[in-house]
Amino acid sequence: MVHYILATHGKMAGGMKSSAEMLLGPTNNLSVYDAYVDEEDISVGIQRIIRSIDENQKIVMLSDMRGGSVNQKMMGYLGGDNIFLVTGLNLALLLTLLVDYSDDIDEQKLSKVVEEHRDSMQVESLDFKIEDDFL
């Protein structure tokens, strides 16, 4: 099983988990770290979460902002072949990962999913048509 860790500035990570679970139901492979909401050092909080996960599980960490302090701390856990880091967290990406990639993932699959979700950010206009079966 793949374990996902969301870490963001403020309470965004907790909010993303709440939204994901509202749509998918409870998740046992999703942990969150809301940075800067208390005095705990980010490294300590992330390390606590990683230590709670079976060392044989693959871990995908997702941060909110490339180059941000949370993302920089998470980069310190890269280096093995079972921990990945994605920056630019959004709900559509998270839902796809939880639904389609809970059993296994690798760098190639992860890169493909990220590339597919780059287009999910758009400036909308009033002439945009939503298919009836969208949701």
Domains of the chain and CATH, by start? 2-118 (3.40.50.510)
Compute the distance between CA of residue 19 and CA of residue 91 in angstroms, rounded to an integer. Answer: 8
Helix or strand holding residue 31 (H, E): strand 30-35
Compute the distance between CA of residue 110 and CA of residue 85 in angstroms, rounded to an integer. Answer: 9
Is pTM beyond 0.75? Reply is yes
Tens digits of residue pLDDT in 77-102: 998 889 999 999 999 999 999 999 99
pLDDT band, residue 132 (cuts 50/70/90) = low
Q: Tokens 């945009």 appear where?
A: 128
Q: Rounded to 10 degrees, what is the CA torsion of 74, 105, 2, 31?
A: 40
Q: Tell me the CA distances in angstroms from 130 to 1, 23, 100, 124, one per residue in order.
A: 34, 19, 23, 12
Angle at which helix 107-118 crosses helix 91-100, to 10 degrees, equals 140
